[in-house]
Structures are given as C-alpha cells and as structure tokens.
Amino acid sequence: MSEGIGARVLRKEDKRFITGKGRYTDDIVEANQAYAAFVRSPHAHARIIAIDTSAAMAIEGVETVLMGPELVGDGIGNIICGWGVTSKDGSAMNMGAWSALATDKVRYVGDAIAIVVADSKSIAKLAAEAVVVTYEELPVVVGSVQALAKGAPQLHDNAPGNLIFDWEIGDLAPTDAALATAAHVTEMDITNNRLAPNPMEPRSAIATFNEAEDHYTLYTTSQNPHVARLVLSAFYNVAPEHKLRVIAPDVGGGFGSKIYIYPEEIACLWAAMKSGRSIKWTSDRTEAFLTDAHGRDHVSTAKIGFDKDGMIVGLKVDTKANLGAYMSLFSSAVPTYLYATLLSGQYNIANIYCNVQAVYTNTVPVDAYRGAGRPEACYVIERLMETAAREMGMDPSELRAKNFVTSFPHQTPVIMAYDSGDFAANQKQAQDAADVAGFAARKAEAASRGKLRGLGYSNYIEACGIAPSAAVGSLGAGVGLWESAEVRVNPVGTIEVLTGSHSHGQGHETTFAQIVAERFGLPTENIQIVHGDTDKVQFGMGTYGSRSGAVGMSAIVKAMDKVEAKVKKIAAHVLEAGEDDIVIEGGAVKVAGTDKQMLWHEVGLAAYTAHNIPAGMEPGLKESAFYDPTNFTFPAGCYICEVEVDPDTGVTEVVQFVASDDFGTIINPMIVEGQVHGGIAQGIGQAMLENVVYDDAGQQLSASYMDYTMPRADDLPNYSVHHASTTCPGNPLGMKGCGEAGAIGSPPAVINAITDAIGNNNLSMPATPAAVWTALQDVRSKLAAE
Amino acid sequence: MKIAMTVNGKSVSREVSDNTLLVEYIRDHLRLTGTHVGCDTSQCGACVVHVDGQAIKSCTMLAASAEGAAVTTVEGLAKSKDDLHPMQVAFKENHGLQCGFCTPGMIMTATDMVARYQAQGKEITEDAIRHELEGNICRCTGYHNIVKSIADGASKMTTV
C-alpha cells in the first residue's frame, strides 16, 4: 500500500500554503469587526494608582476602553495553573491571582491593564498610547536565585519569599550516602537559558458575541481549542460551554506557546459582549516577546557519583525554576513531572534525588516550550556524563554505554517506567553515520587550518504521549490526557476523520489519513481530516508533548476498529458469509478464499440505505472513540555534533550533526525527519544563539528580531537523520512520538562538542562567540599560569 | 489618497490613508492574505512580494511608493490552479514547509534569488542559498528542506 504506514506521502495540506490560500486567524474578517489593542505596563513591578482614559475615549473611532476592575466585577475568573504541585512539606502550591486585566498591581513589563476597542488597528494602538496610567513603582527582581534571597521584592502576598513550591522527588539519604562513597564525583553548576518560543505566526484572536443567541465564537491561534473552550467556560466564566465555539483554523506554529489561554482571548471575548462588536486582536512581534509564555530558565547544581568501574552510583540535583510573574497553565508540571522524572536518562541509576524550587519573578510567565522540562533534564544528565568521562579519562560513549538500561520494562527511581528501547543500537548507528573513527583525522586537518574541532554526544530519552489520565490525575493534573476521534464513512465511501488533536505544522492531514488508508485500502485523497473546531469535533486534548501520534492516532485506530467490525457485519450479512471470513483489502470487502466481495463504497451505501443490514443494527457508518494512554512513551536516541571553533574570534560553526532516533513506528518518514530537523534547529538555537535577556529593572532587552537571535539558514548545517527503532508496546500502532526529540537532544551535544574543542567544560548557553572566546581565554590563562 | 497599481496582473485602485504599508494594502484592502506579517522590524521575510520583478519586504514599503508598479504576491505565482510555479512544486516535493506561515515569503524570495543567479549565469550553490535566505526566518523546518527545495526549484526553473 503505497500511501500507508511508512510511506513518504507528500503533504495534502501543502497546496493551500504554497499558493497563499492558507487561512490563519488574522486572515479572517468578521462583519462589524473592530480591533483591539492593549494598554500594557512599561514597569516590571508597580502599583496602579490611577487610570485616565479620557484622552483615549476622545479619539474618533474609539469604541470603548475596558479595565480590570470591571472585568473582575463581571465575574470573569482569574487565570489558573491547571496542575497542582505539592511541596515536600505537604503544602499546596502558592498560586498568585492573575486577572486577565490587572486590577491593582502589575508584575511584569507587558502585563495587560486595559483593552482598547476601535474601528481600526492604528486607532486602537494610538488610543492605547493615550491611556494615562499613574504608577507607584516597586522594587524588581528578575532572577530566580535573587528572588529567593532574603529581602527580595515580594510579588504575591500568598507566596512568601516568592516561593511557589519546594518540591522533591527520589530519596535523599541513600543518594547522599551513595555520593559520599563514590570513587569519583562530578559536580556542575548548570543554567538552562530562558527562550522565547517564536512561532512565526503571532498570536491572534477574533471574538464575536451574538446577542440574540447569547452565543460566543472565538477564532484563535490555539494548539488545543477544546481545552481553551473548557477553561474559558469552567474557570474564566466567559460563557457556558454550549454557548462558546472555539475555532483554531490554520495555525502558524506553536511549540507550546499556543497551548495556553492568555489574557488577550479572555479580554476580547468579554469586550465583544460589552461592546457588541466582533473584536480582532493580533500580536505584533515585540508584544509576542512580552506576552507569549517563555521556556526553560532553570538554575541547577548537579552531582553525579561513579564507582571505580565507572558505574553510576547516585545523582543529586538542585534546581531553581523561574516561573515568571504568574503561574501559566502547565507551568508547575514542567519543572517537576516533566523534568525531574527524566533525570535518570538512558542509565541505570539506583539513587536519584532532586529538589525543585519554583519561583515568582518580575518576568514573562514561563511554561512549556518544545520539550518542556525534558530538555532541561537531558541537558543536566548529558553534560554531567560527558564532563565526568573527561574527568575520569574515559571515552564518553563508553562511559554511557556501560551504564545503559538494557532490559525493559525498567523502573527508574523517579516515577518513569521505560517500556522499550535499544540505546546501544542508536549510539552505534549515530557513531557510524558520524564516522567517529575518523574524527581524529578531521581534528588534525582542522588544526592545520587554525581551527579547533570538537565532538560531543547527547544520548537523550524523553517521555511523550502524555499520558494515562488516572496517573497524571494522581500527580496533580486538572484534566485527563486522553484523546478522542470520530471516523465517519460517508454513503459514497469517502471518510472524514474528526480528531481532537490539532495540526499547526505537524502534517496530521497527511499522516492521519495514511493510517486510515492503510487500514481500509483507500487512497488518502478519499480521506479528509477535520480538526480545530469545537462545533465539529466532540472534544479533544490537543497537540503538545508529542502526543498526537501516540495518543491522537491511537484514538483513530480505536474508532476504526469499531468501523471495521460494523463493516464486516454488514458485508457478512449481504454476502451471506460468516463475519470471521470477511477481510478488507484493496478497497474491497471480501469473503476470504472466494470471489464474493462488496466494494468499500457499496458497504457505505448499504449502511446508509439500511435496506439490507442485519436485524437490529443501527443504520449509518460512523464511530467514535476515546483513547486513554496506558503509559508515557519513551523516544530516545543518540545525537553527535561536531563543531569548529575559530580560536581568535570564538566564532563556532556546527560542521556536522548526526541524529539516530528511536521513535517506534514511523507513519511518514519525510514528516518525521522534518520534525527532527526543526527540533535540532531550535536546540542549536538554544545552545548557540537564543537568549531572553532582562536588565535589573525588568526590561526585556531582547524583545525583537533585532535583539533576539533567531537561527537563520546560514547559522545551521544540514542534518544527518537516522532511525533505529523499537516498537512501543503501549499503543496499537507502536508509536513513541517525534515532535520534541530534536529540541531535547541537541543542546548538550552542541555544548559538549564546543567544550571538547576548547578544552574547558565551563561554558553556558548560549555559546556566543564572546562566551566561547572568553572560555578559551580562561583555559589559556590557566595553562600560562601553570 | 488614491493609489493604483497592477497586482498579479490585474489593475487595482483603492483609496487609502497615506501611511498605509504595502503589506496592509495587499492584506487588508485587496484581501490577498497569502502575504504574512511575522515581525515589526523587517527581519522575518514573511511579507516578501515582488515589485517590478524584485523581491521586497512589503512591510517596509508604503503602498503609495508602489504607485504604478507591477506587484506579484504568492497568489499570482501559479499559472493556474493546477499549473503551479516550479518553486511551489519544489517546496511541496521536498517538504520545504510545515506550518506554512513563512512559506509565501520563502517562495517569493526563492524565485527572486534563482532568477537573479540565472540571469547572471551563476550556479546557485547551497552556501549561496543559505546566505541569500538571511532575510527570511522559518521556525519549523530548520531550513534543511527549504534549502533543498530551492536547489530543486532552481533546477526546474531552468527548464521552463
């Protein structure tokens, strides 16, 4: 079956994008549409003393200016974090109040204060600037370590010391004991730099209120429109669920940042009701830097101990996670259950302990960004392993290999039970593809050109397909993390699949069609994937955490199982055969071993005419299913990066990047490779280029593309991408997920390569030319001093 | 003010305020929404169109400055619904796009760069493509398949 599982089918969705016929939120215009702009705090921390809207209201074309107290007075609820994390002393996390429009205090630059509604974008912006806010400025703190220090400025009254939670996992005493008796201990201070997600399509929303129907419609740039509707209804009280339709049309990338329900969507819906106008808001890029949830921002100290044979005896990590000014939707889960649970890496480690303190600061809220916690874990363990190998004089790949988990299932000391994998196979494949054996010669050749060449590994494991609902519920999640699907076979035999997953670049319209094509022997052109509209799709948990394959497609498989059962019943009835003798192949439904058959569309027609179906059977051919995962899935792999450093300038070039991934079953290798390419690019971006920078006053110095270094084509290499897969036993297709691996695995490979080249393990991300040059000078001064 | 130009082969004329950007004219007035806005600082290239045969960032030009010009947007590139420009075909065949938001700008930049190189009789190498893409940002693809698409599109453009 040329279009089935494993085929490199070209994407069905491409034609509209390459011809300019995509339909993104900002492309849509509603009747009677007005435009919103937000009045935002220019201060990182301040009390609002007074707001004067008279000058703004006097501008021709301004419809209304609405503020926080009125929003709260109308019963609009505070923005919440949907995952409760409990501190080690048993206390609940300290969630500070976050109103969509500030009422008394602002806590970061960009905090929304008022929504201005006007006839045009430019009038709205002009009027927003004409709103005069009087502030009493308050002291500011931007770093997590500083925010925890005695006497630091306090952000929220109910979070003394700015501490949101003080959480732990693993066993402290045995870990300390193991480290105390270790033959070798490697200890490092490790910072994971703050990133801005930067999907190329800025966030956008169009809210419409139909007064006659008491009904709202929201077009929005969302990765999970169903969750948006649930949260907007159940928690923010914007409208009851059946009176709110959320549509996420074409969405131009997300990377996590479009999971959350932001103040702007809430304010636009509320203002649409207040003003009677449809309201469009589209973020500009600087506004995106100031308001889209950031990622990462961990400061850690980590210790790993080995016995005399190089076997790991214990790992202890202390992490301070900067969550910004307010708790975003999944912000508590990222530095806890999505981070510390992966610290065991690919290794047998008997003793692990991790303490995480989550902290408020006067910065943009931090939440999941591609990888979400797992890149931070991978960076800790993989920098430790590489550095330890160098300290012990061992080959880094051999040190890893002797500690690999080799039998499955494997229960780590930090919750996760790895179900499958062959880490040695991935490492071998990557080493062969990278020609590690020839590295010494390449290094010598580079040296002859005055360049320092280095090679670094990263053997990552991550957890996807999040996750069994009962399990995440027991860990504090406020939602179940199943997925739903509906498979509708039309009377003419074509198929619509309605899925709760959302595609914003992942190519679901193609890959989801491929699994249906495979099952029923139909061409993908006869299969339409429908997603992103709460009026069409029954429900769904959306796309993040690389869950659309392992969870979303599993739901489709479950629905197809039901369709297949009914098809067989109908065919058996019509063809007067036993159900067990019916087979579906090549677009026909046949009685095995005979020439009796119905064409696929004939079964569809039979189901809908219902003239001749088994007694008691309901007409029609449409089935739905909810699939709840049985476990996380565990994609893993080995990445090998080679760099060349110019010692005079610190300028570093990634000259080779090899990936060997285990994603389980792959539906479309072309699309999977594309996901890996993009993930690696973001990982190299984090390692070498990207950094959100705040000054001490809480001003974001990197809030435009003039200042924040987005990776460009000439910053990046071609990637050599390979697969050595084991089947995931936990879901019907054997899939593990591929969306985040590249971003998770690549940063340590890059930094390990650069530190290898310069001979100094003390290097932080982003490894800019200045940082690399400085680290190189440190080594040289040390050598000179010796 | 009233401005007139040719867009995708059709004469168009609209009354606009004099500070209207070309991208606003294209998106908001002509409702050709294939041209996108991804930044505020002329960095991302999502808004690239051709003005009198040259790729320009339409966020950085006033609509009034294009008075009388011939403008081509991504909607005007294909000969027909089923006869796409070879560069469009190359992006599809090489998986040169994911979310699709930067794609129109990438394709308009690509057709311009290839045309320039071919007019000068120069081969367009991978290094040249990467360098020429300095004004276009993609967050999805890591550029690998965009570079491949443009190289492939270039070879197809020589045959048309």
Go through the domains of chain A in sequence order and give each one's CATH number.
15-138+201-252+258-291 (3.90.1170.50), 298-466+631-785 (3.30.365.10), 482-627 (3.30.365.10)
Q: Which residues of B touch A11 (CB under 8 A)?
A: 92, 95
pLDDT at A497: 98
A679 and B CB contact within 8 Å: yes
The chain B residue lying nearest A199, using CA atoms, is B139
Q: Which residues of B touch A19 (CB under 8 A)?
A: 34, 74-75, 77-78, 84, 88
Same-domain pairing of B44 and B69: yes
Mean pLDDT for the stretch of residues A260-276: 97
**Residue among B48, B82, B51 nearest B66 (CA):** B51
Choose between A780 and A638: higher pLDDT.
A638
Please spell the DSSP secondary structure of B29-60, one letter per residue: IS--TTS----SSS-S-TTEEEETTEEEEGGG
In 3-state terms, chain B is what percent helix, strand and coil (to 5)?
A: 40, 15, 40
Same-domain pairing of B72 and B122: no
3-state DSSP assignment of residue B128: helix
What are the beta bridge partners of residue B156? Answer: none
What CA–CA distance (Å, rounded) separates A374 from A170? 17
Rg of chain B over Cα atoms, rounded to whole angstroms, equals: 15
CB pairs under 8 A between A and B: 179
Torsion region of A669: left, alpha or beta (phi above 0 gives left; psi -120 to 50 gives alpha): alpha
pLDDT at A785: 83
What are the beta bridge partners of residue A133? Answer: A51
- Decide which of B76, B98, B131 is a domain's last residue: B76
Rg of chain A over Cα atoms, rounded to whole angstroms, equals: 27
B159 token code pair: 């045959």
Q: Do A678 and B98 touch (CB under 8 A)?
A: yes
> At residue A633, does pLDDT exceed 80?
yes
**Residue among A248, A700, A755, A699 nearest A456 (CA):** A755
Same-domain pairing of B8 and B66: yes
A120 and B CB contact within 8 Å: no
Flag whether the pTM goes above 0.90.
yes
Q: Predicted confidence band at A783 (pLDDT cuts at 50, 70, 90)?
A: confident
**Distances, alpha carbon A19 to alpha carbons A169, A250, A434, B87, B101, in Å:** 51, 14, 38, 11, 12
Of B32, B92, B137, the CB nearest to A20: B32
φ, ψ of residue A231 in degrees (nearest 5): -70, -40
Contact between residue A346 and residue A404 where contact means Cβ atoms under 8 Å apart: yes
Residue type at A234? A
> At residue A396, does pLDDT exceed 70?
yes
φ, ψ of residue B6 in degrees (nearest 5): -105, 125
A61 token code pair: 């074309």
Choose between A467 and B19: higher pLDDT.
B19
What CA–CA distance (Å, rounded) separates A724 from A457? 17
Give the alpha-carbon dihedral of A135, A139, A142, A148, to 10 degrees: -140
Mean pLDDT for the stretch of residues A89-104: 97
What are the beta bridge partners of residue A591? Answer: A582
Residue type at A592? A
How many CA atoms does the CB half-sphere of A582 hold within 13 Å?
25
A672 token code pair: 């999977």
**Within 10 Å of residue B159's Cβ, how many Cβ atoms?**
6
Same-domain pairing of B6 and B72: yes
- Decide which of B76, B104, B121 is a domain's last residue: B76
Contact between residue B38 and residue B47 where contact means Cβ atoms under 8 Å apart: yes
A195: Cα separation from own chain's centroid: 13
Distance from CA of B117 to the nearest CA of A (A): 18
Q: Predicted confidence band at B160 (pLDDT cuts at 50, 70, 90)?
A: very low
Of A286, A677, A710, the CB nearest to B141: A677
Strands A652-662, A636-645: pairing kind: antiparallel
Q: For chain B, how far is it from start to end, CA to CA, in angstroms?
A: 40
pLDDT at A756: 98
What CA–CA distance (Å, rounded) separates A112 from A751? 38
pLDDT at A7: 97
DSSP state of A633: B
Q: Do A681 and B97 touch (CB under 8 A)?
A: no
What is the crossing angle of helices A741-758 and A669-688, to 10°? Answer: 40
CB under 8 Å to A538, separation ≥6 — which residues?
A: A484, A486, A498, A500, A624
φ, ψ of residue A243 in degrees (nearest 5): -110, 15
pLDDT at A586: 86
Mean pLDDT for the stretch of residues A532-536: 97
What CA–CA distance (Å, rounded) separates A116 from A113? 10
Of A21, A705, A716, the CB nearest to B142: A716
The mean of the pLDDT values for chain A is 97
Of B32, B37, B99, the CB nearest to A253: B99
Q: For chain B, give the percent of residues with pLDDT over 70.
A: 99
A31 token code pair: 């009747």
The residue to which tokens 């937000």 are assigned:
A38
Of B84, B91, B98, the CB nearest to A505: B98
Residue B92 lies in a domain: yes
Q: Do A716 and B93 touch (CB under 8 A)?
A: no
Residue B8 lies in a domain: yes
- Decide which of B28, B55, B76 is a domain's last residue: B76
Same-domain pairing of B93 and B124: yes
What is the residue range of B98's domain?
A: 86-157
Q: For chain A, give the percent of residues with pLDDT over 90.
A: 97
What CA–CA distance (Å, rounded) separates B134 from A712? 6
pLDDT at B159: 53
Element (H, E) at A106: strand A105-106
3-state DSSP assignment of residue A765: coil
CB under 8 Å to A611, separation ≥6 — which residues?
A: none
Residue B134 lies in a domain: yes
3-state DSSP assignment of residue A303: strand
Q: For chain A, how far is it from start to end, CA to CA, in angstroms?
A: 67
Distance from CA of A466 to the nearest CA of B (A): 22
Residue B113 lies in a domain: yes
Same-domain pairing of B47 and B97: no
Same-domain pairing of B48 and B91: no
DSSP state of A581: G
A665 token code pair: 């079953």
Distance from CA of A681 to the nearest CA of B (A): 5
What are the beta bridge partners of residue B72? Answer: B50
Residue B81 lies in a domain: no
CATH number at residue B47: 3.10.20.30
Q: Which residues of B touch A720 (CB under 8 A)?
A: none
Question: For the segment A451-502, what is each residue's pLDDT rounded down to a tens digit?
Answer: 999 999 999 999 998 889 999 999 999 889 999 999 999 999 999 999 999 9
The residue to which tokens 């965009």 are assigned:
B146
**Residue among B76, B55, B71 nearest B22 (CA):** B71
3-state DSSP assignment of residue A697: coil
Mean pLDDT for the stretch of residues A594-609: 96
Interface-testing mutation among B98, B130, B147, with chain A (most A C-beta atoms within 10 A): B98
Same-domain pairing of B96 and B130: yes
Question: Alpha helix (H) ranges present in A507-658?
Answer: 508-520, 554-575, 600-609
What CA–CA distance (Å, rounded) separates A683 from B148? 21
Same-domain pairing of B132 and B112: yes
pLDDT at A616: 96
A618: Cα separation from own chain's centroid: 41
CB under 8 Å to A620, separation ≥6 — which residues?
A: A607, A608, A610
φ, ψ of residue A639 in degrees (nearest 5): -115, 135
Same-domain pairing of B102 and B57: no
Residue B90 lies in a domain: yes
Contact between residue B39 and residue A705 where contact means Cβ atoms under 8 Å apart: yes
Contact between residue A366 and residue A296 where contact means Cβ atoms under 8 Å apart: yes
Same-domain pairing of B64 and B95: no
- SS3 per residue for A305-346: EECCCCCEEEEEEEEEEECCCCCCCCCCCCCCCCCHHHCCCC
Question: For the segment A665-717, what is each residue's pLDDT rounded down to a tens digit?
Answer: 999 999 999 999 999 999 999 999 999 999 999 999 999 999 999 999 999 99
Q: Do B140 and A678 touch (CB under 8 A)?
A: yes
A21: Cα separation from own chain's centroid: 27
The mean of the pLDDT values for chain B is 96
**Distances, alpha carbon A448 to alpha carbons A66, A161, A654, A785, in Å:** 67, 55, 18, 26
Specify the length of chain B in residues.
160
A179 token code pair: 């480290």
Residue B43 lies in a domain: yes
Question: For the segment A321-366, what is each residue's pLDDT rounded down to a tens digit?
Answer: 999 999 999 999 999 999 999 999 999 999 999 999 999 999 999 9
A328 token code pair: 């975003």
A641 and B CB contact within 8 Å: no
**Distances, alpha carbon A50 to alpha carbons A58, A64, A129, in Å:** 18, 18, 15
Domain count, chain B: 2
Residue B107 lies in a domain: yes
What is the crossing angle of helices A225-234 and A263-275, to 10°? Answer: 60
CATH number at residue B134: 1.10.150.120
What's the CA angle centered on A400, arms A671 and A418, to 5 degrees?
60
Same-domain pairing of B22 and B51: yes
**Within 10 Å of residue B55's Cβ, how many Cβ atoms?**
23
Sign of CA dihedral A515, A519, A521, A525: negative
Provide the strand spans (E) within A262-415: 278-282, 298-306, 312-322, 352-359, 410-411
